Structures are given as structure tokens and as C-alpha cells.
Amino acid sequence: MRHSLPIAPQFYVTAPQPCPYLEGRMERKLFTSLQGDGAERLNDALSKQGFRRSQNVLYRPSCAECSACLSARIRVADFQPSRAQRRVMQRNAHLQRRPTSPWATETQFALFRAYLDSRHARGGMADMDLFEFASMIEETPVRSRLIEYADPAHAGAEDQGLRAGCLTDILDDGVSMVYSFFDPLQHRNSLGTYVILDHVRIARELGLPYVYLGYWVPGSPKMGYKAQFGALEVYRGGEWRRVGDPAEFDPATHPLAVEPIAEQVARISLPEIRQVSPGGLG
């Protein structure tokens, strides 16, 4: 009888590079690959510990002197939209949600490019082409959907009425908004906020307790909008904590703000690894 041994995930650290959120700081990420039969269980387990997915990689900020980036999620059962958010829902009530398989289209890419050029022209994705966009959408080893939001009154137009899209992972305890994009010309409709509000609705429909938003970065204008959502909690100090007053979160740097990499990895809780037995060989 011959058995294949289970392989525990290996963790690595990226080289420091300029932070895209806070000027003058350097970012570094702790990451591991996401592949094989245990990919979904690993994605579920590490998402609960502040990790995010990008294609077949799971990563978490691990900067040398900064711990400003905080993984954020909404507690669905406790969430109540504000008056402004209710107005956003009303303004976009005409949009049709279209969940699709994670398969990229030229229409999606055109909207994605318009969004990047308007909102993130200097970001890390600024030069992304159609093939790289397709890889971002399609290279997923877990249960994912591309959720489109379209205006049915313009379904016959060249853009098929597409107004927003979100690559979404379905976790065992929530939905994770991997990446969203929307029409930057429709400022009044607050489409980014609407997509998050609709994901709260999706989680309720699926009976899931959380909506994972990605990272909230206190002090960063790009990421400040996430603090506007009620029932928000962040992963800090190895546990999820409710956010009270966002102003209480200090983005200041400190040489002791982050544990050494070895200690971080030692604290990661991994899912049970199932040993594979392909059977006997005569």
C-alpha cells in the first residue's frame, strides 16, 4: 500500500514596495498558494483570519512597521442601512442583478478599464490588459461568481446596460467581495455603495452571516468609505473586533506594531488536511 503525504501550505513574504494607500510607507505581504482539493477549505479558514484571495494566492498585509490595513466584514444580522444608504438603494432599484460564472467578457473589461482610468490611474492595476483581466476573473480554484448589475432599459446597447460588476467568492460563512468595479460617470448613483448593500442582501438570501469587504485602511481616502457601513468589524490582534468610532483607529507606524513573520505563521490556524490514499499497488 502506498500513500501520498498531505502537504501543509507554505507561507512566503513579498519584497517591500511602496504602499498604494498611505504615502511614504512600504508594504509587504504574507502569502501562500491556493490550489488542490483543499483550496476551498483553505480559503474559508484563512479568510476568517484576515487573508484575501487574488487568483490562486491568499495574502495578508505584513508590513515591517505598520499595521494600518485591517480586514473588514459586515455582520449581516445586525446591519441596518443608514438613511443615505437607503436612498442609494432606491436610486438603483431599477438595476438587475445577473450572477454569472467567472468568465470575462469584453463588455466587462471596457467598464473595468473606464473604472481604473477614473479611480485608480496610478494603481498597481493601471496597465492591466484584457488577458490579465481574464486571468483575474477566471483563475479561481474556489466557488466564485461574477455578479453583474445592468440597466434593463439599455440591455440592447453596445455595453448591454452593464453598470457594475463584482467578482465574489462564496465562503462557508459569507460572501467575499474580491474585486468590484462600476461606471465612474454615474457619481450620483453611488454604485460602489450599492454593490456592497446588494451583497448584504445576497448573504441574507444565502443564510450567510458575513460580507467580507477586503481591507479598510484608516487614514486612506481611497478606503475610508468602508467605515460608513454599520455592523462593521475588523480583524486585529488575532480576532474580529467590532468597530465603534472609526476615528479611534490610529494609522501611525511603530517598529513593534507587527509580530515577526515566524510568530505570525505559527498563529495561523489551518484546516484539517485530509490524507489521500490512491489505493494499493499489487
Quick one: which H or E segment has residue 206? helix 191-206
Could you give the C-alpha distances from 123 to 18, 89, 194, in angstroms and in order?
11, 29, 23
If you average pLDDT over residues 195-215, what whole number do you get?
97
Query: What tens digit of pLDDT does each residue of 44-87 get?
Result: 999 999 999 999 999 999 988 888 899 999 999 999 999 999 99
Backbone angles phi, psi at 179, to 5 degrees: -160, 130
**Within a 13 Å sphere around the CA of 208, how many CA atoms are in the beta-carbon half?**
21
| Rounded Cα gap, residues 269 and 204, in angstroms | 27
Contact 184, 155 (CB under 8 A): no
Query: What tens digit of pLDDT does each residue of 238-247 get?
Result: 999 999 888 7
| Rounded Cα gap, residues 176 and 169, in angstroms | 5
Question: What is the pLDDT at residue 41?
Answer: 95
Quick one: which H or E segment has residue 73? strand 70-75
Give residue 281's pLDDT band: very low, low, confident or very high (50, 70, 90): very low
| Rounded Cα gap, residues 30 and 122, in angstroms | 23
Domains and their CATH numbers in the chain: 70-250 (3.40.630.30)
Give residue 108's pLDDT band: very low, low, confident or very high (50, 70, 90): very high
pLDDT above 50 for 3: no
Burial class (CB in 10 A: 0-12, 13-18, 19+), 279: exposed
If you average pLDDT over residues 135-162, what whole number do you get?
93
Mean pLDDT for all residues in the chain? 88
If you average pLDDT over residues 198-212, what whole number do you get?
98
* More confident of the two residues 279 and 196: 196
Out of 179-183, 193-197, 218-222, least confident range: 218-222
Question: What is the pLDDT at residue 5?
Answer: 44
